[in-house]
Structure 1
């Protein structure tokens, strides 16, 4: 009996469940798709290193899925709360006819179960199809070829999806049961006639709070953008986040309070058509508006920044990958020891494994960035940590630098006595360094006053690395470094045929012995390892951006949509009254569109402003990984926003319009 009644109720109330159901389907779909990444490896041509990196991506996505589960749980429980509220009058009629709260809970249990089963089935079906397309993107990110395309079904991803959403639905059932048992019959029958208490009525209080919110938000922007990415400590970063969050809440709290007063000051606008009705509708829900709008605004901000920033970092990493992998392998030491000599002392002659190599040492010379750059250029380069901290600039001999140039097929340079040259691999620092060279900036190294011998910064990557990190190295004649302290040392080499495995096995033995003896430890990375690590890092960041960013956009739009659909149903009696006093249906529809548009645009407007600052900060971080324009990624994020947010807006308006017009 109860199951039949639940099925009939679900069928009759499908218009109320439509957006909720579609959101669940999309959540299940994206959850399965991104948890099925590991199963796609059977289609890709992966070596051992790439396979390990692929497993790392899968592990990270598993952790992200745990976070996504909590976000989706919030959405589903929040949506159920609105659906319960929407049907309070219906439940009140059941109780009037003699149904107790226990039986009512059973009906809701069956309805929730039916929705869960259907959404899981449909979502999994779509997710299985989409996961096949994700394999193409994965192959591109890992820069590998397809072995053979085949249909892949991930049993583990399905089980994980069942477990996560099963737990969520159990929580929903518990919350629904608690909600039903706490409500009273009189509240169920009169719920649609109640407005929330308005706590902010004084327009001047609202204005003051509004100004305070703008100051707090502006301060958050200033801290993030003015201090630079390199100097953002956890304390400063936490302060800016706290100011931004509190400022956002105060913004909507005060904005909702004086919007009505502001509109009332323009009598012509206020009394035009149904503007008075629309504003009163918004003002009647002020408490819910400011809380939900604040959360939705922050969710949109996170979603936009994660989509654009995530894709941007991946593109930046891949754009510089060729420059970062010019050698088959790089060995380095933080102790500044001569690596070639170090290996010879341990019975490894690099000449036996490579005919093309360079071993060199970088020195300290008490030369700081403030000695090299102007104050203006120092300030403009504050995103780079060594410059903010005014660290020492490393020094290399001319002979070794020419060996590096020869290895990367570039022409050697010459310096006269008393001259120096600069080389770097950071694009953003090229102009500041060139300014110093063009202005004949003199420097003092080891008591020697040197002037620029080459008036342009040489751009070269001196060793394999995950990201470009050589801000500046000063090149001097060999005799200048006499007496200077060794800083770091490197050995770049290309293998003779396929003997990379042999030398790396010996390096591992040396490394283990050094750890036991607490001796100088050598570190190394091969081109193969670097490519696998870079592509996996790029894939992780991109997937996290698409996965979590997309979920936040969906949650934001879905919450707004469910609110408005629920509210439109609650306000049927008011719209019916407008119809009775002679208001045209066209004007009613226009007022409904205006009201829904205001609800959707309020959080979106501030979120876009937040995103401008957030994306500028993201751009600075991205430039640390590589040089690339993020405009393309911003456009992708905006396209996703328009598609998801705009789609929910249109669906909400059409659903609310149908609710009202079919009743009045």
Structure 2
């Protein structure tokens, strides 16, 4: 009997919770899709960096499971509140509370299993699409087919069971404490004014606003190269996040009352068109879900940050490659300098056409006049290059060469460390080989991390000044006609192991494969990280946006059925359908828009602050505005789909015959 009733109720409520079912199905299917990708041997073999994909995905899935758990728990609780009077009636008819609880559990399990069954084939299709995106991002022409495996399906089932066990146990705990009276009047108990004292409400609102502004200002003050090296920066950023969370929940709890108070003070606004009806409708809803509004704002903020971070990471792509490996092949030695790189050239020449080779030395300037500003540990000298070698390297990269007079020197440094020496009066002149040299300029575009072993800066001087200086490193640069690949670095590491594995006097061996850098390997690794970060950030953002859209949609569609009499009353008062639907649009825009406003402002401020750190590595100083606009476009596209679906369902519900 209960089984038939559960099936009937599930079918009856399926229409109201169709958006919820679709979102849960897509969420489970995306979890399955990414698990299939991570467990696919074909995908892992695409790049050495794909091994870390599974570890990153495990952490991300934990976050996603919590979000899906929140969504299901909220919707289940909301469904229970909406139907509490129905369950109370069952108890008045003699059905025991235990049986009512079992009925509700069966309905939720049926709905969950339906989503799980639909998610498996859909997840399999999604996995093919995601693998295609990853392959395209990696620049690989082949197509990878992702096979369905029982381990990934089993993992999805474990996630499903964990979520529903937690949700249903929480629901049963709530039911156990309720009486028949509680069931019959449960849907009425939260419909009350949260703040009876306007002064208290205003204080909370102002304190929350001040906390929010303070957190964003503090965040901005710590987002700089100078502060990122400070150990206390992470503590300050955590404090900012906590303050911002408190601010979001405080403003969400008070905004409904604030809006209503402002409107009621103005008779002109209050009685203009449908303002009073829309505002009171929103206020009555917001007062019962102020905590939910805060949570939704948090989810929106996280989704926007994920979208922006994905764009920033893609923006760093080319800069990261140039900073890591601007030349096709680079080899250096600093422990035992040697003159002949013939063995390396022979290995490269087997598969590639060598166009040009450059050998250059890095010298030690023992006075270390500049090194002190960088606070470089383990080095007590300034790394120096002669001008002719530096200009040869510039020509190979099609960059403009540098000219120096006898009394000038040039500084090459990392753009992220430029603040340490820029506008430093003490560096305008240095003593070099009993001569005083003036600083001609500072360049960051030609810098790369392994330009010398200190990885911070290089002093460029006229050739004659390096005479008599000790050589600290010898470098080989190779320019090939063909584009290099990661296989070349693997070949060098294998065939020249005797040059890259050093044995100490006590017999201890050290691997020094880092002394070889192949551009093809760096590009592959960067492609891999871009593919991983882009796909996972979009994955998180989609789940978060969908969760927010689903909660608001379920709330709105249920209200359309529950308060249908309000709209029927408006029709009886002479409001035509065009005006009525316009009112509904306004009502839904406010409901969907309120959680967005603060999140958009906060995400923009946080992104603008992060731009202080990343702008030197991006294409230009204002490219973050383009990334922010792109993230907003993706967000509002997905969010807009939920709004449109809610609006269509809302109209359908109020037009149905009672």
Q: Same fold (TM over 0.5)?
A: yes
Which of 359, 362, 380 aligns to 1:360? It is: 362
Q: Deviations for 1:345-364, whole angstroms, at most 9, x for unmatched residues? A: xxx95343236443424657
Matches within 5 A, 1:38-49: 38=38, 42=42
Query: CA separation of 1:331/1:246 partners in 2, compared to 1, >3 Å: closer, same or farther?
Result: farther
How does the TM-score come out when normalised to structure 2?
A: 0.82
CA offsets, 1:588-626, max 9 Å, x none?
Answer: 544443333212111111111112112223444544654
Q: Deviations over 1:157-208 (max 9, x none)?
A: 3222222112212223322322332222222223344443423244444344
Does the 8 Å CA contact 2:411/2:457 hold for their aligned counterparts?
Answer: yes
Q: Secondary structure at the match of 1:342?
A: coil
Whole-angstrom CA distance in 1 between matches of 2:372 and 2:120: 59
Are the structure 2 counterparts of residues 264 and 365 from structure 1 closer, same or farther at C-alpha, using a change threshold of 3 Å?
A: farther
Once the two structures are superposed, residues 245-287 of structure 1 have per-residue CA deviations (whole angstroms, 9 ceiling, x without a partner) of 2222222233223221111111122133543333333333454
Pair 1:459 & 2:445 matched: yes
Report the secondary structure of 1:16's partner residue.
coil
| 2:115 paired residue number | 119
1:299 aligns with 2:299: yes
- Counterpart of 2:551 (choices 559, 564, 569) is 559
Structure 2 residue runs of 5 or longer lacking an equivalent are 346-356
- Find the residue that maps to 1:420 and give its secondary structure: strand
Greater mean deviation of Cα atoms: 149-158 or 29-38 = 149-158
Structure-1 separation of matches of 2:506 and 2:301: 46
1:196 and 2:181 matched: no
- Residues 1:564 and 1:410: Cα distance change in structure 2 (over 3 Å): closer
Change (3 A) 1:215 1:84: same
Q: CA deviation at 1:12?
A: 1.1
Aligned residue number for residue 401 of structure 1: 390
User: Normalised by the size of structure 1, how large is the TM-score?
Assistant: 0.82
CA offsets per residue over residues 386-435 of structure 1, 9 Å max, x none?
Answer: 99xxx9986544355345446657676443221112335649969x96x9
Instruction: Please say if residues 330 and 526 of structure 1, whose CA atoms lie closer than 8 Å, have aligned partners that are also in contact.
Output: yes
In 2, Cα distance between equivalents of 1:113 and 1:386: 61
> Which residue of the partner structure matches residue 450 of structure 1?
437
The aligned residue for residue 238 of structure 1 is 238
Task: Report the Cα distance in structure 2 between the residues aligned to 1:80 and 1:475, rounded to whole angstroms.
Answer: 68
Please state if 1:491 is matched with 2:475. Answer: yes
* SS class of match (1:125): helix
Asked whether the equivalents of residues 301 and 600 of structure 2 are also in contact (C-alpha less than 8 Å), the reply is yes
- Distance in 2, matches of 1:170 and 1:54, equals 33
| 1:661–1:627 CA distance, 2 compared to 1 (3 A) | same
Instruction: Tell me what 2:129 maps to.
Output: 133
Runs (5+) with no aligned partner, structure 1: 333-338, 372-384
Alpha carbons of structure 1 residues 369 and 18: separation in structure 2 relative to 1, 3 Å: farther
Task: Please point out which of 50, 60, 63 is paired with 2:59.
Answer: 63
Where do 1:241-640 residues align within 5 Å? Answer: 241-318=241-318, 320-321=320-321, 324-330=324-330, 339=333, 342=336, 344=338, 349-354=340-345, 356-361=358-363, 367=369, 395-398=384-387, 400-402=389-391, 404-405=393-394, 408=397, 413-424=402-413, 426=415, 442-445=428-431, 448-453=435-440, 457=443, 459-462=445-448, 473-477=458-462, 489=473, 491-494=475-478, 500-502=492-494, 504-510=496-502, 513=504, 523-527=514-518, 528-572=520-564, 574-575=566-567, 588-623=580-615, 625-627=617-619, 629-631=623-625, 633-640=627-634
The 8 Å contact of residues 394 and 401 in structure 2, kept in 1 or not, is answered as yes
Structure 2 counterpart of 1:641? 635
State the superposition RMSD in angstroms: 4.0
**Does residue 107 of structure 1 match 2:107?**
no
| CA distance in 2: counterparts of 1:521 and 1:289, whole angstroms | 59
Give, in angstroms, the shift of residue 317 of structure 1.
1.5
Instruction: For residue 153 of structure 1, give the secondary structure of its aligned residue in structure 2.
Output: coil
- Distance in 2, Cα, partners of 1:29 & 1:143: 26
CA spacing shift, 1:19–1:361, aligned 2, 3 Å: farther
Please identify, of 414-423 and 577-586, the stretch whose mean Cα deviation from structure 2 is larger: 577-586
Aligned equivalent of 1:92: 88
Between stretches 271-280 and 636-645, larger displacement belongs to 271-280
Q: Does the 8 Å CA contact 2:325/2:448 hold for their aligned counterparts? A: no
Cα-to-partner distance string for 1:220-250 (whole Å, 9 max, x where unaligned)? 2222223333314112211221222222222
Whole-Å Cα distance in 2 between the matches of residues 216 and 140 of structure 1? 44
Q: What secondary structure is seen at the aligned counterpart in 1 of 2:139?
A: coil
Match of 1:169 in 2: 164
User: Is the 8 Å Cα contact of residues 57 and 536 (structure 1) preserved in structure 2?
Assistant: no
Label 1:177 to 1:214 Cα distance change in 2 as closer, same or farther (>3 A): closer
Equivalences, count: 624
Deviation at 1:331, TM superposition (A): 5.4
Flag the 1:367–1:569 CA change in 2: closer, same or farther, 3 A: farther
1:409–1:119 Cα change, 3 Å = same
- Go from structure 1 to structure 2 and tell me whether the alpha carbon gap of 1:627 and 1:525 turns closer, same or farther (over 3 Å shift): farther
